[in-house]
Amino acid sequence: MSNFAKVGDMIPDIAMTTPEGGTVKPSDFTGQKLVLFFYPKDDTPGCTTENKDFSTLAAAFAAAGVALLGISKDTPQKHAKFIAKHALTAPLASDAVEGGLSDALGVWAEKVNYGRTYMGMVRTTYLIAPDGRIAQLWPKVKVKDHAAAVLAAAQAL
């Protein structure tokens, strides 16, 4: 996917909605490291595992001075239920607007599953440096051991 943002690019500063109804955007984290993990859908097996893994490591990310933000197109209300159901501690944001951050980064893209073509979130993680530049990215993430690998990269940044 050639429209993916690349290492060295500035992260677009596009606001998303928090489960509480507020807004959050990448510039809110200027001066600290930030992990943005984009995932397809709340309460599906892979996405639940990924969110639980990041939540399990949330204290280690915080100790390393790294903010976390999980992002999908799900509604803020659905995020709130997902957080409560699984006791998630990694913050979530809803990027449901057309032309949002996932669109700008190229991670909301055409997917094919069992011969059916549709638009969906490509599971992708970005490590953002304190200056707002993309320091590392993981396209088409495989969930197993992913959060630990991101933590190691963030600690090394």
C-alpha distances in Å from residue 47, one per residue of 12, 27, 88: 24, 25, 12
Alpha helices, DSSP H, located in 26-128: 45-56, 58-63, 76-86, 101-105
Q: Which of 24, 47, 137, 150 is catalytic?
A: 47
Is 47 marked active-site? yes
Cβ-in-10-Å burial (0-12, 13-18, 19+) of 4 comes to middle
E runs forming strands in 6-141: 16-17, 23-24, 33-38, 66-72, 92-94, 108-113, 116-121, 124-128, 134-138
102: amino acid identity, one letter: S
As given in the structure block, the two tokens for residue 90 are 């990694």
Positions marked active-site:
47
